[in-house]
Amino acid sequence: MKPDLPHVPLEVGAGPDNPPCPVCGEPLFPWVPLPLGTGMAHRCEACGLGVLSRSGATSDALADLDRGGPNGLTVVFENRDSLQAWLAGSAWIGLGTDRAYRFTPDSIRRLVANRDQIMSGMKWIPGASIVGMWQSGVNLFTFGQNIATGALGKAVAVRAGRPWQRGLDLFISVALTIPIAIIAVPLELLGALLHRGGRYRADFEVL
Q: Does the pLDDT at position 105 exceed 70?
A: yes
**Nearest alpha carbon to residue 161 among 37, 33, 40:** 37
Say if 1 falls within a structural domain. no
Q: Does the pLDDT at position 17 exceed 90?
A: no
Range of the domain at 112: 10-206
Q: Does the pLDDT at position 3 exceed 60?
A: no
How confident is the model over 126-180, as pLDDT tens digits? 999 999 999 999 999 999 999 999 999 889 999 999 999 999 999 999 999 999 9
Say if 3 falls within a structural domain. no
Q: What angle do CA 10, 22, 24 make, to 5 degrees?
A: 45
How many CB atoms within 10 Å of residue 104? 23
Q: Does the pLDDT at position 9 exceed 70?
A: no
For 75-95, give the DSSP string.
Answer: EEEE-TTSHHHHHHGGG-GGG
Contact of 75 with 20, CB cutoff 8 Å: no
Which contacts (CB < 8 Å, 24+ apart) does range 28-34 have?
28/55, 32/89, 32/90, 32/92, 32/95, 33/90, 34/90, 34/95
Say if 5 falls within a structural domain. no
pLDDT for 72: 79
**Nearest alpha carbon to residue 195 among 101, 129, 96:** 129
pLDDT for 55: 82
Say if 60 falls within a structural domain. yes
Mean pLDDT of 8-33: 80
Order of all β-strands in the sheet with 101-102: 28-33, 40-44, 50-51, 101-102
- How far apart, in whole angstroms, are the C-alpha atoms of residue 80 and residue 74? 18
- How far apart, in whole angstroms, are the C-alpha atoms of residue 82 and residue 117? 24
Q: Does the pLDDT at position 10 exceed 80?
A: no
Confidence of residue 70 (pLDDT cuts 50, 70, 90): confident
Domain count, the chain: 1
Mean pLDDT of the chain, nearest integer: 91
